[in-house]
Amino acid sequence: MSRIGLLIPSSNTTIEPEFYRALPSHITLHSARLYLTQIATDSIENVVLDMEKQARNLASADVDVVILGATAPSFLKGLGYDREVTERIEKASGKKSSTASTALLEALRHLGIERLALGAAYDEKVNGIAKSFLEANGFQVVNAKGLGLVDNLTVGRLDASTALDLARAIDTPDAQAIVLACTNWKSMQVLEQIERELGKPVLSTTQVCIWAALRMMNETRAIAGYGQLLRSLAPALQD
């Protein structure tokens, strides 16, 4: 039996069920919560204050990896901040770790994506920070739009149809992929439909977290039903 440790915002009600549905039966999920109710810059910055303590708690369950399943807290301070956060988690837990933002960057490179359209649940300010983070990492964001939400419980109550609608709205001919950002925003169940309609890969930040965790654990069996990325599982390159 393998174990994934997941650090999530306290008000996130979506990422755990989406993980459960996609994970193979021999892998279990174990979560720790970091206090956050509002997707605003001050709240996002503070979410990592308790991160090391909760990472150590997860390590005590003998998890194999620890993932920060929160997108905005891992891109908030720009280029390289996701790696800084990963290093803090690894130092505290002694486990291989990653963040939602790091996983997204790696997934885009894995699929050979250079140009993307970005959809998110965030307001204009946070969505702008997400766009800048992606561009600083070498990707061209050809279109970006957010739902304008700040209250995280409100995000968690959205139907997955909102992700489908926004993906359709932001798609452009020059976008090689669609990115749907925010792990509290239901989207996993519509990824296949969006890919069929638009004819291109669709990445959600929950999906890329699952992909990154499984790769770090050398779990390489393809997972169907949640987009091209999880059907393309392959071991992570070793240093």
DSSP string, 98-153: EEHHHHHHHHHHHTT--EEEEEESS-HHHHHHHHHHHHHTT-EEEEEEE----BHH
**Which helix (H) or strand (E) segment is 13 a member of?**
none
Cα 149 from chain centre: 18
Q: pLDDT by residue (tens digit) across 157-210?
A: 999 999 999 999 999 999 999 999 999 999 999 999 999 999 999 999 999 999
**235 within domain boundaries:** no
234 located within any domain: no
- pLDDT for the residue 58: 98
- The answer to whether residues 27 and 140 belong to one domain is no
* Beta carbons of 101 and 75 less than 8 angstroms apart: yes
Rg of the chain on CA atoms, in Å: 16
Confidence at residue 237, expressed as pLDDT on a 0 to 100 scale: 53
pLDDT of residue 48: 92
187 within 8 A of 163, measured Cβ to Cβ: yes
Residue 182 CA to residue 184 CA, distance in Å, equals 5
Residue 192, number of CB atoms within 10 A of its CB: 16
Say yes or no: 86 and 135 in one domain. no
Q: Which of these, 85, 78, 82, 103, lies nearest to 205 by C-alpha position? A: 103
Exposure string (b/e) for 15-47, b if CB count within 10 Å is 16 or more? bbebbeebbeeebebebbebebeebbeebbeeb
Selection from 7, 209, 28 nearest residue 102 by Cα: 209
Strand locations in 25-95 (E): 27-34, 65-68
CATH number of the domain residue 92 falls in: 3.40.50.12500
Q: How far out from the chain centre does Cα 36 lie?
A: 16
In 10 A of CB 73, how many CB atoms? 27
- Dihedrals φ, ψ of 42, to 5°? -70, -40
The whole-number pLDDT of residue 1 equals: 84
Cβ-proximal residues to 60 (8 Å cutoff; 6+ apart), any chain: none
Backbone angles phi, psi at 97, to 5 degrees: -140, 165
| Nearest CA among 5, 124, 107 for reference residue 59 | 5
**Structural domain includes residue 231:** no
CATH value at residue 132: 3.40.50.1860
Residue 189: the pLDDT is 97
Examine residue 232 and state whether it is found in any structural domain, yes or no.
no
Is the domain of 192 the same as that of 219? no
Residues of the chain with pLDDT under 70: 235-239
Helix/strand/coil for 176: coil
- Are 86 and 125 contained in the same domain? no
Considering the entire predicted model, what is its pTM? 0.95
Range of the structural domain that residue 62 is part of: 2-103+206-224
- In this structure, are 15 and 92 located in the same domain? yes
